[in-house]
Structure 1
Amino acid sequence: MNLTPIWGSLTVFIICPLLGGLPLIDWITYTLTGRHLSKLGTGNISVSAAFYHGGKLAGITAVLSEAAKGVIAVLLARAFFPSGSVWEIIAIIALVIGRYWMGKSAGTTNAVWGIVAHDPIAAALVWLISLISFTIIRDRLLGKYGALVLLTVIIALRNPNQPEYGVATFALASLLAGIYQNIPDDLDLASNTEQSSSNKMFRFFQGDKSIITLDSKLKAQEVGQKAANLALLKQLGYSVAQGWVLRPGDDLKAIVEILNPTPKSPLIVRSSAIGEDSPTSSAAGQYISILDVTNKKELESAIVDCQASYLQSSAMEYRRHQDQSEESMAVLIQRQIEGVYSGVAFSRDPVDRFNDSVVIEALPGKATKIVSGKFTPQRYRVAIPEVDLAQEKSITVTQENIRDDGVDIPIGIIESVALLAREMEDLFEGIPQDLEWTYDGEKIWLLQVRSITTLQPIWTRRIAAEVIPGKIRPLTWSINQPLTCGVWGKLFAVVLGDRARDLNFEETATLHFASAYFNVTLLGTIFRRMGLPPESLEFLTRGAKFSKPPLMSTIKNLPGLWRLLKREWKLGKQFKSDRLKLFDPILSAIEEQPAAELSPTEIIDRIDTILGLLDKVTYYNILAPLSLAIRQGILKVDDTELNYTKTPEVAAVSALAEVANQARKLLATEKITLDSCASLFAHIAENSEGETILNRFNLWLDRYGYLSEVATDIAIPRWRDKPGIPREMLAQFFFDSHGTKKAESTSDKTTQSLKAKLVQKRLNLKGIVAQIYNKLLANLRWSFLALEQHWLDRNLINNSGDIFFLELEEIITVVENPDGEIARQLSSIIEQRQQQWLQERELTSIPRLVYGKPDFSTWKTPSVLDSQTTFKGIGTSGGQIEGVVKIISSLQNTGAIDRQTIIIVPYTDAGWSPLLARAGGLISEVGGRLSHGAIVAREYNIPAVMDVANATKLFQDGQRVRINGQTGLVEILD
């Protein structure tokens, strides 16, 4: 038996890929220069990278080594198969696969020289025809892909009776084309004309087509953010000077040839490096700009100097400090505007992060005088109040310093620049912007627009305030933050796939002012990678309507969306399985043995068990409401078609109202006066049949005692911890027959359409998941309280509730080592954190958006304008009502409520439901259509408006207001 073909195929499929992946270029460059290509630039170990990072000698040696690989692959195949066989092409394919798989480069040089060794005549024909064609067409992209088509056709024509040659060559061409789409073009990696000799052969083919202008749609990854931003603004109609862009690797002589600067029409040459002016790195002052370029010689010199500034030691050190990869430098050339007044503007104050004004610095003359630091500009602060509905508010300009020259910038120009700055912020997805501008006597020109990197990331209270409301203690946050961020990270990773590798989902949320905030900057990055439109980010920052993604982005994300859809479809079945195997059995076991009976070590084991369950159930607690919203939106099912009676917040209220109604029947025949909760329970206890009512109430408390006014915060007492709160709720229902009737008569929709049933399944699932989630959190709280009692007995801590000012890892450490350093420092740790938390708790209002890392001590509560009478929120339950305001900040002090009362609350959780059953309307500072308050309001058919910022401070008890639950409008009537 002839084993030669077998050994030959093994050589081709094993040795050739290994040969391709052999990092000879990296070794050569490191030997000659001491630099590892895998750790520089894009990380590609390519010929052009060797030229760029290692110089000509490294580049030329790299070319020879890669050419040798191609020839060796063909010779290896030839050692086992006849000369010129199709196995030689297959060997080249295997070589290229290994080159891409292990070396992360295209392998073009390998393929070219492999084809030369395989069929030199075909290689020569491809080169000759390409040269003739591309001399006329002069398009590099067409040249690159056209050569692959030519290669396939010529090889096939030279082997007309052997179709396998055409098939193999087509596979090689397709492989290379696919690789070109997935990795940066090697020809674009070099930063200027002196750094890549491999570019020289292509510059002729580029011709005039390599010259691009700001009138084109430009990509930041190709020409830098500065040029891309200006091109976008020019297309949108803003005043941007005419400009040209020299891409990395393009021939500067071509652009010098077409431009003709003169003393009367000078040009300015500016950097537009890849990575410069990005949302996280401005690179301000790192690269040079050359003004007053008046002839071609100066223009050529200015371009070279600008490119060279990319390699200056200070610029390279800056990029290392910012953890930026080594990319390349594009050069931006623009017509120079002779400004009468010029300056810079910040859409948000980069120093005073809580000041909502636009900050402008301006001087007579050119804008470079401002950024040079050699002149003291005039500084202005411009207040632009948010326009509320139809009310018009004037812009206020304050000049903060007076210059000695006595030259004042016209206020009209300052106001226009301020409005322009806010327009730029809105245009760039709500991210604060830094503008360079100049006024030429007729109009304001934009010279540069970039993000203010020191105000990153942006944090929003929207949604976060609903998920984790109130002032949060350290223990709660040390548990909730990793749970929430981890699950959201997993879901986003499902959709994004490999595009999520560099994202740190642990930064999804943080605490400011002892309050939860979500990371708008990170979410914006996620949205962009998902292909969602910019307006989607406004949904988080300003409450705009969520926009549908474009068709192309949906197609691009189809694999991820399909994975998410499969999870959504299996959600109910998967939860049922986990509930039967995990949630119900473990919860039952936990509830059978109180935590107070356990030792500290056993309590920690229980806490670990609960946290493991919470990690699983948090996934359902996030995906179930998301699935509900998606189904309801796609199937267009109205809220009125759904049955909310199985949700914990509605079921608990209905059951409590039923107990109150039975108590009313029991005492109906007694001629007594009841005026308080205490007197009610006293009369029930004295009644011969009152024990039945008390037993029913206690059974209700056992069933729903895990609820509280903030179920997600384990530091907040549950109803079981403070039974006085639910006893007061029962009394309120007893005295309010209307509220009791409304709570008992919740809708039970037995007949539903097929679409409504599909949505109802997710609503029911959401309710069951919420019940288990809240029960686990309640038992987690009771476990920490049991541990705290052990510590109180040992005098490790001083007061009840102190444990909630510690973090989870600290608690575990103390249990494992009760005599360790942390155990000895517990009192000081608790005291310090408690003082800060008490200070932050006293803040009557906090900003909805926070920029960067603010200092809470500098925050000042904004004053409320007395003249404002109309406010806009999110309408979540239809209907309109006029009533009297009652502000309720806590369930412990609610007072009298009737159908004419419009209650105003800071947030709503399941524990607030009994209030809504008795109220006529609801206004909440936070929340949306799926919040607890919205769900209960719709069930009880009362108008509700959510997301009215600082509502508990804007209104006063006794005011008469009108709310519209459809439009979200709230009007003060007196």
Structure 2
Amino acid sequence: MLQVWGVLAIFILCPLLGGLPLIAWITSVLTGQNLARLGTGNISVSAAFYHGGKLVGILAVLSEAFKGIAAVLLARQFFPEGSGWELIALIALVMGRYWVGKGAGTTNVVWGYVVHDWRVAGLVFLIGGVSFTILRERELGRVGVLILFPLITALLHPEDSARIGVAIALAILIGWIYKKIPDDLDLAPEAVQAQSQTMFRFFQGSKAIVSLDDRLEANKVGQKAATLSQLKRWGYPVPPGWVLPPGDDAEPLINFLQPREAQPLAVRSSAVGEDSEQASAAGQYETVLNVTSKEKLRSAIVRVQASYDNSAAVKYRRERSLPEDAMAVLIQKQVQGVFSGVAFSRDPITQQGDAVAIEALPGGADRIVSGQVTPEQYRVVVTQQFNATGQTSWILPEDVDLQIEGEGNVPPGLVKQVAFLARHLENRYHGVPQDIEWSYDGETLWLLQSRPITTLLPIWTRKIAAEVIPGLIRPLTWSINRPLTCGVWGEIFTLVLGKRAAGLDFNQTATLHNSRAYFNASLLGQIFLRMGLPAESLEFLTRGASFSKPPLSSTLRNVPGLGRLLGKELSLEKDLERDYQQRFAPGLSKLAEQPVESLSPTQLLARVDLILELLRRATYYSILAPLSASLRQAIFRVKDTEIDYSQAPEVAAFSAIADLAAQARQVVPELRLEGVEEQLAQSPEGRSVLSSFEQLLERYGYLSQVGTDIAVPTWKEEPHVVRELFVRFLAEGNEQGRRRERREKRKGGLVQRRVDLKGKVTEVYSRLLAELRWCFVALEEVWIRSGLLSLVGDIFFLEFDEVRRVVNGADSGFISGLVEARRSQLEQDRLLEPVPPLFYGNTPPASPASP
């Protein structure tokens, strides 16, 4: 009789318990909302989290868990523990939950099963939870759980066929209800309560739904989508968006988005390789706007994907040697723009300066991007002091007033804000100029796209170059120095990077613009990043920003390469001694044996090739020796005042001149500064001083005012420079007396040896450059006599390959006009003031000379 009462209790009380609207009551009391009129209309745990937040959701879980546990315990009062009647009670509960409460009863069943058989519940939770976390497929996860719990029940209780049958019936019932009611997890995640967003996104699960809120990788979804995802995480105003990765089924995303008239969507391309620093692919792929239905969305996705194989797009990739890859599709809520446009954080026309160029029009951004309407044009100068570096917000500060060039219908305040946003983005990307697309809907300035301006890359900087290679440089000097220096730096970087140096063209490390040297900050930034230095290394090169400490992981990754470089540094002295004995000393002796004046043009060219061969190795030492000395000085904290620089050729030469001036003072105490040589020639002691002066001139005749520029005459060619120094030292008396300091401390010795080594390297390098110059001077004299050249110094306006071609018999008719044009350009460049510290791109327009 007890079991009869039990059956009645289960089939009457359990449906009533299931239909009890506890979730609706909780939500109404705490938030004042009616779940039946919100979203899907479901009165469920997920709806409570979605509309009510975390507290309401947790209370909803507890209430539904109570129902499931109560149903099982009710059945246990009338039937044996663990019987199939406990599962029948859950079925009755779920039916009431569906008929009255408009819910699936999933939470009831979960907690009821925990009480019924905790082993089954634990195994289902473990297997199902791990599978869902890995696969991220919501529908597959549901079906899997509905199969798992009857299966595990059967495995653990194979003799209890009644329990197995009821478990299967419970799984079928829940599956049927899933088909009948809408899923709250299909609602837009942007509208969910903030406290519940993380959990809501997790349980949404489907890997087909990729949002811009996720951390996206460019090699999987394209640079455009990955960049917008990054910008959204950084706090920039990017419209909500989703991505269909290449090869994924579009239907889950289409069903998820539910496009409608009230909120149209924009469907755009995000091809792998698009919007990169190498190629923007602007306008190559399809964009579809005003998508308002599932059918239109499905069609738009197909159109965008098909545009990857358009003949123009295929040709574009082939011309730029871009690999054939894949097309992701980016879908965003379409901004109803009041004003829209594009902005360039650096003017792509002038390719230098601080102006932000803006193009804008009333309406949507597509009007400008299509090129069918002429936009209003503005220029806003954002100087360094107004740059966004250090700003935490992209919003223009109230105390900053920017000057606008240009007039139109766009509000000036909006133009200024767009300019500040563009420069803020450039700074966020470490100085790389950005091309942005924006739209203002009357309330919010939306950022639709940001990508590098490929025509303004690479970035060229005078920083460091102005110190290493100062002044105006002629073509011959540059055509020889650039491959030598870039080649050696390439060897050093390759030594450190190993295989990671693949794809880097070290010959592009430097260039000549306005007759001045500039370093490739973009390339050096890539090198620094591959070496594990911080991302702001590019800003260090362009704006002098300080380095932060590199991450430990990148430092450890470069330990093998740094170890190889350390080995080169430790063996530097031994290697130099070997090369000096085997290469440099014999080479310099051979050059000294035969004067250049007696050589023909062909012999002079062969002599130049010999010198260049020696210079390639000397350049290696001329870079590594100063680097080694500077590193040792920094490591051992040795001050400049503790170092003796007397082995440096310039210091030694100046000291020798000062000593000779002091000797002359002793010989002729009343020596007048006018006619010094005549006065010294009147006595044997004075003539000895003059003889010593000639020996000094012979000894240091390879020096010049700019040691690295072969276009600058040496002391041997212009001895009056040395005579003027001699006279100046005579006038200054003993104030320039040389004093060599000796150091006994070990740290000073370790550094001193490298400084002395640097001096020896400088002497070899400078002597070889002087020999190189004398070869070209001799060749120039031959060509002047033959009428090929007109003036002294003309040969330095030719590049080395041009000189070689003429010597080898090529047509020389182009020389006079070319020399004249380059000489004129050099004079124009000489008048340039100020010299631009930066310029952008490989073909910048010529800078106007100052009047």
Whether the TM-score (by the shorter chain) exceeds 0.5 is: yes
Out of 363, 376, 379, the residue aligned to residue 381 of structure 1 is 379
Distance, in Å, in 1 between the alignment partners of 2:424 and 2:753 is 44
User: What is the identity, as a one-letter code, of the residue corresponding to 1:849?
Assistant: L
Q: In the alignment, is the contact (CA less than 8 A) between 1:337 and 1:440 conserved in 2?
A: yes
Q: State the SS of the aligned residue for 2:358.
A: strand
Aligned twin of 2:583: 582
Q: In the alignment, is the contact (CA less than 8 A) between 1:595 and 1:783 conserved in 2?
A: yes
Distance, in Å, in 2 between the alignment partners of 1:544 and 1:762 is 29
1:241 to 2:239 alignment: yes
Q: State the SS of the aligned residue for 1:419.
A: helix
Q: State the SS of the aligned residue for 1:689.
A: helix
Out of 826, 830, 844, the residue aligned to residue 841 of structure 1 is 830
Cα deviation, residue 613, structure 1? 0.4
Q: State the SS of the aligned residue for 1:711.
A: coil
Aligned twin of 1:694: 690
Seen in structure 2, the aligned counterparts of structure 1 residues 651 and 837 have a Cα distance that, compared at 3 Å, is: same
Distance, in Å, in 1 between the alignment partners of 2:626 and 2:807 is 37
Aligned twin of 2:155: none
Q: In the alignment, is the contact (CA less than 8 A) between 2:488 and 2:619 conserved in 1?
A: yes
Aligned twin of 1:424: 425
Gaps of 5+ in 1: 1-130, 144-205, 403-407, 864-974
Cα deviation, residue 401, structure 1? 5.0
Cα deviation, residue 719, structure 1? 1.1
Distance, in Å, in 2 between the alignment partners of 1:611 and 1:139 is 62
Cα deviation, residue 774, structure 1? 0.8
Task: Output aligned runs, 1:916-927, within 5 Å.
Answer: none
Seen in structure 2, the aligned counterparts of structure 1 residues 726 and 459 have a Cα distance that, compared at 3 Å, is: same
Aligned twin of 2:715: 719
User: What is the identity, as a one-letter code, of the residue corresponding to 1:211?
Assistant: I
Task: Output aligned runs, 1:7-22, within 5 Å.
Answer: none
Q: State the SS of the aligned residue for 2:825.
A: helix
Seen in structure 2, the aligned counterparts of structure 1 residues 238 and 733 have a Cα distance that, compared at 3 Å, is: same
Q: Which moved more, 1:772-781 or 1:378-387?
A: 378-387
Aligned twin of 2:207: 209
Out of 402, 406, 418, the residue aligned to residue 400 of structure 1 is 406
Aligned twin of 1:267: 265
User: What is the identity, as a one-letter code, of the residue corresponding to 1:398?
Assistant: I
Seen in structure 2, the aligned counterparts of structure 1 residues 363 and 831 have a Cα distance that, compared at 3 Å, is: closer
1:602 to 2:603 alignment: yes
Cα deviation, residue 436, structure 1? 1.0
Task: Output aligned runs, 1:300-315, within 5 Å.
Answer: 300-315=298-313
Q: State the SS of the aligned residue for 1:511.
A: strand
Seen in structure 2, the aligned counterparts of structure 1 residues 714 and 532 have a Cα distance that, compared at 3 Å, is: same
1:773 to 2:765 alignment: yes
Q: In the alignment, is the contact (CA less than 8 A) between 1:468 and 1:712 conserved in 2?
A: yes
Aligned twin of 1:887: none
Aligned twin of 1:624: 625
1:744 to 2:745 alignment: no
Q: State the SS of the aligned residue for 2:267.
A: strand
Aligned twin of 1:222: 220
Q: State the SS of the aligned residue for 1:381.
A: strand
Q: List per-residue Cα deviations over 1:828-868 (Å, max 9, x = no partner).
A: 3333333333333333442121222445545354x9xxxxx
Cα deviation, residue 431, structure 1? 1.6
Q: List per-residue Cα deviations over 1:3-42 (Å, max 9, x = no partner).
A: xxxxxxxxxxxxxxxxxxxxxxxxxxxxxxxxxxxxxxxx
Q: In the alignment, is the contact (CA less than 8 A) between 1:270 and 1:289 conserved in 2?
A: yes
Distance, in Å, in 2 between the alignment partners of 1:423 and 1:629 is 36
Seen in structure 2, the aligned counterparts of structure 1 residues 724 and 860 have a Cα distance that, compared at 3 Å, is: closer
Q: In the alignment, is the contact (CA less than 8 A) between 2:522 and 2:538 conserved in 1?
A: no
Q: In the alignment, is the contact (CA less than 8 A) between 1:363 and 1:370 conserved in 2?
A: yes
Out of 789, 792, 796, the residue aligned to residue 797 of structure 1 is 789
Q: In the alignment, is the contact (CA less than 8 A) between 2:529 and 2:537 conserved in 1?
A: no
Seen in structure 2, the aligned counterparts of structure 1 residues 563 and 356 have a Cα distance that, compared at 3 Å, is: same
Q: Which moved more, 1:580-589 or 1:208-217?
A: 208-217
User: What is the identity, as a one-letter code, of the residue corresponding to 2:515?
Assistant: A
Distance, in Å, in 2 between the alignment partners of 1:634 and 1:211 is 53
Q: In the alignment, is the contact (CA less than 8 A) between 1:385 and 1:395 conserved in 2?
A: no
Out of 358, 365, 372, the residue aligned to residue 367 of structure 1 is 365
Seen in structure 2, the aligned counterparts of structure 1 residues 587 and 309 have a Cα distance that, compared at 3 Å, is: same
User: What is the identity, as a one-letter code, of the residue corresponding to 1:796?
Assistant: L
1:763 to 2:751 alignment: no
Task: Output aligned runs, 1:484-495, within 5 Å.
Answer: 484-495=485-496
Seen in structure 2, the aligned counterparts of structure 1 residues 747 and 306 have a Cα distance that, compared at 3 Å, is: farther
Cα deviation, residue 694, structure 1? 1.7
Distance, in Å, in 2 between the alignment partners of 1:767 and 1:221 is 50
Task: Output aligned runs, 1:704-715, within 5 Å.
Answer: 704-715=700-711
Cα deviation, residue 271, structure 1? 1.3
Distance, in Å, in 1 between the alignment partners of 2:399 and 2:848 is 24
Distance, in Å, in 2 between the alignment partners of 1:388 and 1:277 is 27
User: What is the identity, as a one-letter code, of the residue corresponding to 1:806?
Assistant: L
Q: State the SS of the aligned residue for 1:363.
A: strand
Distance, in Å, in 1 between the alignment partners of 2:322 and 2:790 is 49
Aligned twin of 1:517: 518
Aligned twin of 2:318: 320
Q: In the alignment, is the contact (CA less than 8 A) between 2:658 and 2:737 conserved in 1?
A: yes
TM-score (structure 2 length as normaliser): 0.72
Q: In the alignment, is the contact (CA less than 8 A) between 1:207 and 1:254 conserved in 2?
A: no
Seen in structure 2, the aligned counterparts of structure 1 residues 136 and 386 have a Cα distance that, compared at 3 Å, is: closer
User: What is the identity, as a one-letter code, of the residue corresponding to 1:816?
Assistant: N
Q: Which moved more, 1:289-298 or 1:458-467?
A: 289-298
Distance, in Å, in 2 between the alignment partners of 1:340 and 1:271 is 24
Q: State the SS of the aligned residue for 2:385.
A: coil
Distance, in Å, in 2 between the alignment partners of 1:540 and 1:809 is 31
Seen in structure 2, the aligned counterparts of structure 1 residues 332 and 515 have a Cα distance that, compared at 3 Å, is: same
Percent identity among equivalent residues?
Answer: 51
Aligned twin of 1:15: none
Aligned twin of 1:483: 484
Task: Output aligned runs, 1:452-463, within 5 Å.
Answer: 452-463=453-464
Aligned twin of 1:117: none
1:680 to 2:680 alignment: no
Q: State the SS of the aligned residue for 2:565.
A: helix
Q: In the alignment, is the contact (CA less than 8 A) between 1:354 and 1:859 conserved in 2?
A: no
Cα deviation, residue 259, structure 1? 2.5
Seen in structure 2, the aligned counterparts of structure 1 residues 570 and 386 have a Cα distance that, compared at 3 Å, is: same
Cα deviation, residue 231, structure 1? 1.9
Distance, in Å, in 2 between the alignment partners of 1:236 and 1:480 is 44
Seen in structure 2, the aligned counterparts of structure 1 residues 418 and 703 have a Cα distance that, compared at 3 Å, is: same
Seen in structure 2, the aligned counterparts of structure 1 residues 468 and 331 have a Cα distance that, compared at 3 Å, is: same
Q: State the SS of the aligned residue for 2:481.
A: helix
1:731 to 2:727 alignment: yes
Task: Output aligned runs, 1:21-420, within 5 Å.
Answer: 136-139=132-135, 208-387=206-385, 395-402=401-408, 408-420=409-421
Cα deviation, residue 618, structure 1? 0.6
Seen in structure 2, the aligned counterparts of structure 1 residues 474 and 264 have a Cα distance that, compared at 3 Å, is: same
Task: Output aligned runs, 1:469-618, within 5 Å.
Answer: 469-618=470-619
Q: List per-residue Cα deviations over 1:930-967 (Å, max 9, x = no partner).
A: xxxxxxxxxxxxxxxxxxxxxxxxxxxxxxxxxxxxxx
Seen in structure 2, the aligned counterparts of structure 1 residues 443 and 732 have a Cα distance that, compared at 3 Å, is: farther
Gaps of 5+ in 2: 1-126, 141-203, 388-397
Aligned twin of 1:830: 819
- Paired residues in the alignment total 652
Q: List per-residue Cα deviations over 1:393-421 (Å, max 9, x = no partner).
A: 9644334354xxxxx32222211211111
Cα deviation, residue 807, structure 1? 2.2
Q: State the SS of the aligned residue for 1:607.
A: helix
Cα deviation, residue 701, structure 1? 1.8
| Higher-Rg member (1/2) | 2
Seen in structure 2, the aligned counterparts of structure 1 residues 214 and 855 have a Cα distance that, compared at 3 Å, is: closer
Cα deviation, residue 746, structure 1? 4.2
Cα deviation, residue 428, structure 1? 1.5
| RMSD of equivalent CA atoms | 2.9
Cα deviation, residue 586, structure 1? 1.3
